[in-house]
């Protein structure tokens, strides 16, 4: 592959697709977005504001119309909803498009396997958006483990603090709240946490066990004072509710100067009046105890890896957000706090602890992982060097299969082996 300017088409121009387009513009070295596939013209317009040379002939409302043209660009970014990945991914792979695929790959194991089969058959450059692998924070942890800083690795405890308001926004009121419309919580929110454990441990997971449920966000837990209201704007209890839409979107976000996600999910033009109207009639103004959500709001996963290393993962929506990790080895232990960008290393021989700060590539919601991913993927497109991609198709499939096994364990109350 030569170093000529590479062309990209965005399939799915929602918040993730738009974000990747912005990163291609900012971090690329001549790469350009030349087409958009999305039925929503407002979303298309936002992509065109970044890449104004996109022609009308390169705007498609349906991915089938796009692939019917044959191969008319070098690569695609597929950032559609979870259940809409398989068909366009396979079609684009068969045409030879290099690909960046939003996580999760697909909502079931069979579809994930079908995508990986097509990718390997076509021998394309392929990256799943396991963005945590591209953060300075987790790369440093990996470096410390591989370098033997704490001796041989024994066990890891990893925590994803979803955040109380993010839980209410995305997984109660939002598009990922109902499994039949998206996917189950561990896959939708935490598949890259299971993947980051694979990255840090460096060995396959062999069996897993999981517990979790929807404990809080259901009608029987609705405060008596809010009994007659289905929307926050009509609720007399609103000022006492931590999950109030007025609190989250107006007082905590808009009034504090936020003019991007999550407000960009509610409205195209972020104004107070527009947000209030959205809360009055749209899904994000609903009482959290009156939604159609059914995904878990807390879950724990125990994992055993080849060679006997163990890990535990905890996902919960009842916290302030971010990730923490404890890594224990035979000669020391590491504690990492992603929100503070700090890692502490304790040496058993000297009993000394040192702290290091890991500055993120950017202050985004993934510690710079989105930017790091785009930089690596674009560099791979330019050079043909697939080693720049932190996880190939087989390893990405492996981590997804671990997630599916964990969810089966939760549902059946069993210890499940990983079905490779």
pLDDT tens-place string over residues 248-304: 999 999 999 999 999 999 998 999 999 999 999 999 999 999 999 999 999 999 999
* Parts of the chain with a pLDDT under 50: 1-3
CATH 3.50.50.60 for domain 7-124, yes or no, is: no
Task: Give the other-Cβ count within 10 Å of 41's Cβ.
Answer: 13
Rounded Cα distance, 78 and 63, in Å: 10
What 3-state class would DSSP assign to 294? Answer: coil
Long-range contact list for 222-227, CB < 8 A, 24+ apart? 222/287, 222/289, 222/290, 223/289, 226/287, 226/289
Rounded Cα distance, 55 and 399, in Å: 39
Rounded Cα distance, 159 and 349, in Å: 27
Rounded Cα distance, 48 and 26, in Å: 15
Q: What pLDDT is attached to residue 361? A: 67
What values do phi and psi take at 404, rounded to 5? Answer: -65, -40
Q: Which residues contact 98 (CB under 8 A, 6 or more apart)?
A: 74, 75, 76, 124, 125, 126, 380, 381
Q: What pLDDT is attached to residue 360? A: 74
Q: H/E element holding 60? A: strand 59-60
* 176-200 core/surface letters (b: 16 or more CB in 10 A; e: else): bbbbeebbbbbbbbbbbbbbbbbbb
In 103-200 the beta strands, taken as DSSP E runs, fall at: 126-128, 153-161
Task: Give the other-Cβ count within 10 Å of 146's Cβ.
Answer: 11
Rounded Cα distance, 125 and 385, in Å: 9
Q: Which residues contact 415 (CB under 8 A, 6 or more apart)?
A: 207, 208, 209, 409
Task: Give the other-Cβ count within 10 Å of 149's Cβ.
Answer: 16
Boundaries of CATH 3.40.50.720 in the chain?
7-124
Q: What pLDDT is attached to residue 332? A: 98
Rounded Cα distance, 63 and 49, in Å: 21
CATH 2.40.160.20 for domain 133-217+293-365+395-417, yes or no, is: no
pTM of the model: 0.93
What 3-state class would DSSP assign to 380? Answer: helix
Boundaries of CATH 3.30.360.10 in the chain?
133-217+293-365+395-417
Q: What pLDDT is attached to residue 82? A: 86
Query: Distance of alpha carbon 70 from its chain centroid, rounded?
Result: 30
């Amino acid at each position: 592959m030569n170093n000529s300017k590479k062309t990209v088409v965005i399939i799915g121009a929602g918040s993730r697709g738009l974000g990747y387009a912005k990163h291609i513009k900012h971090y690329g070295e001549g790469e350009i977005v030349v087409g958009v596939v999305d039925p929503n013209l407002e979303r298309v317009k936002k992509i065109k504001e970044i890449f104004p040379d996109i022609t009308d002939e390169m705007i498609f409302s349906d991915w089938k119309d796009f692939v019917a043209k044959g191969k008319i660009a070098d690569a695609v970014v597929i950032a559609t909803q979870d259940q809409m990945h398989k068909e366009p991914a396979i079609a684009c792979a068969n045409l030879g498009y290099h690909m960046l695929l939003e996580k999760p790959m697909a909502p079931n194991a069979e579809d994930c396997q079908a995508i990986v089969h097509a990718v390997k058959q076509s021998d394309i450059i392929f990256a799943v958006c396991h963005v945590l692998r591209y953060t300075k924070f987790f790369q440093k942890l990996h470096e410390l483990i591989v370098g033997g800083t704490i001796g041989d690795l024994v066990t890891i405890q990893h925590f994803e603090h979803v955040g109380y308001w993010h839980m209410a926004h995305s997984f109660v009121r939002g598009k990922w709240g109902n499994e039949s419309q998206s996917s189950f919580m561990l896959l939708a929110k935490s598949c890259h946490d299971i993947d980051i454990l694979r990255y840090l441990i460096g060995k396959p997971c062999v069996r897993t066990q999981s517990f979790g449920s929807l404990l809080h966000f259901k009608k029987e837990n609705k405060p008596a004072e809010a009994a007659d209201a289905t929307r926050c704007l009509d609720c007399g209890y609103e000022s006492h509710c931590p999950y109030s839409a007025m609190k989250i979107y107006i007082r905590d976000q808009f009034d504090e100067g936020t003019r991007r996600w999550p407000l960009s999910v509610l409205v195209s033009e972020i104004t107070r009046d527009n947000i209030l109207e959205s809360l009055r009639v749209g899904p994000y103004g609903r009482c959290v105890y009156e939604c159609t959500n059914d995904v878990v709001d807390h879950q724990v996963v125990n994992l055993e890896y080849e060679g006997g290393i163990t890990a535990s993962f905890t996902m919960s929506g009842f916290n302030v957000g971010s990730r923490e990790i404890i890594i224990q080895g035979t000669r020391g232990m590491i504690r990492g706090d992603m929100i503070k960008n700090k890692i502490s290393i304790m040496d058993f021989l000297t009993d000394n602890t040192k702290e290091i700060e890991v500055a993120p590539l950017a202050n985004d919601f993934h510690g710079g992982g989105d930017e790091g991913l785009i930089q690596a993927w674009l560099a791979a497109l330019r050079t043909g060097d697939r080693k720049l991609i932190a996880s190939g198709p087989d390893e990405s499939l492996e981590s997804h299969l671990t997630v599916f096994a964990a969810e089966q364990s939760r549902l059946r109350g069993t210890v499940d082996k990983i079905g490779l």
